[in-house]
Amino acid sequence: MTEHTPTLDISRSFCVMLHDVAPIYASHVATFTQSMAPLVGNMMSAAVVPCWAGVPLGDNDRAFLDRVRDEYANILLHGYEHFRPGRRGLKSKIADGKDEMNGLDPAETDRRLAAGQEILERVMGQPACGFIAPTYQIGFATPERLAKFGIHYTVGYGKVATSSGQRLPLATWVWDVSPIRLLCRVGYRLGQIQYRFRKNALPCVVLHPLDLERGFLPQIEKTVQRLLDAGRQPVMLESLGYGAKPTKPVTVPA
């Protein structure tokens, strides 16, 4: 971390982030909320896809969006459509074509970032100040480019980065690595290894809707419970100085 990074007691903190938040996964989001809320309250980030597979969020999604806004303390921008246009490379094949930013040139990257922020402001009441690239592949969506669209930080697999040069290392558990189930298990094991050996990293538990269909929810719950049993508390990056502070009250179970 640089000298400008907000002070954080890594040994007593962790974060929870739900990716792929879109109406197509409304029931999955509800299940995660019901599972996680007794453990961490609303101290979770929802990474919203504003135009999943080319279908933009709109008034017909109001009930779903209101629940997300009420039940998650922070909203992040998660790509635009999530799927990569055009030809797919090796990374795209492993990620089932969901590495959107890898398929964009700088101009199209700008267009999608602007359009995504406009949609979030219109349907969620405010644009996002944080960004997560689908499958963590940023393409041309660098921290410096994101800043042009009011996005102050980007969350990668191994770190949070800002356009002002701040770096916060992360130890990340992620199960939705690939349609190949073995790779999903490897994603969990890598999280365990990072948590054990990267003592200066903030633990980050990353959820995806497909984790439910693959049967990983019990392992996810146990991972969060172990972090709580270790004396850690869920935190929001915004409350630590990364971007604006949350505009809604945060709740943590007693």
Out of 79-83, 96-100, 225-229, least confident range? 96-100
126 assigned to some structural domain = yes
Tens digits of residue pLDDT in 149-163: 999 999 999 999 988
What number is the average pLDDT over the span 47-54?
Answer: 95
pLDDT above 90 coverage of the chain, percent: 71
5 assigned to some structural domain = no
Entry pTM: 0.89
| Eight-class DSSP state of 118 | H
For residue 67, give the CATH number of its domain: 3.20.20.370
34 assigned to some structural domain = yes
Q: How far is CA 89 from CA 10, 92, 93, 151, 176, in A?
A: 37, 5, 6, 28, 19
39 assigned to some structural domain = yes
Amino acid at 154: T
Interatomic CA distance for residues 110 and 197, integer angstroms: 37
Check residue 4 and give its pLDDT.
47
Tens digits of residue pLDDT in 94-143: 666 678 889 899 999 999 999 999 999 999 999 999 999 999 999 999 99
Tell me the pairing of strands 159-162 and 167-174. antiparallel
3 assigned to some structural domain = no
Bridge partners (DSSP) listed for residue 75: 46
225 assigned to some structural domain = yes
- Domains contained in the chain, number: 1
251 assigned to some structural domain = no
Check residue 91 and give its pLDDT.
65
Task: Name the residue with higher pLDDT: 253 or 232.
Answer: 232
Tell me the pairing of strands 45-48 and 233-234. unpaired
Per the structure, the complete domain to which residue 162 belongs is given by 10-240
Check residue 216 and give its pLDDT.
94
111 assigned to some structural domain = yes
